[in-house]
Amino acid sequence: MKVDIHPKYQASEIRCACGNVIKTRSTRNTVLLGICNVCHPFYTGTQKFVDTAGRVDKFQQRLAKTQAAQAAAAALKKKKK
């Protein structure tokens, strides 16, 4: 087997943009992150759903039209019997 082919595995720090520091072991001294579990909206419970361009309202309007059309078709079918 070849000797000394593996990189050095050493203590390192993971630093987030929010200031959180996590100590671990890695082949790098420092790892920089943009977002971590302390500041990520999903993990902090501050996640918000944004209704861009009224998509939910548009869906509800289409659903109402569809239900009205189905009800009218059912009424017509009953009337023909």
pTM for the model stands at: 0.49
pLDDT digits over 46-65, tens only? 776 666 677 888 888 988 98
CATH topology of domain 10-76: Rhinovirus 14, subunit 4 (4.10.80)
Hey, is 16 helix, strand or coil?
A: strand
Q: What is the pLDDT of residue 81?
A: 66
pLDDT digits over 3-52, tens only? 889 889 999 999 998 889 999 999 999 999 888 888 887 777 777 666 66
Q: What is the pLDDT of residue 26?
A: 94
Do 36 and 18 meet the contact criterion of CB atoms below 8 Å apart? Answer: yes
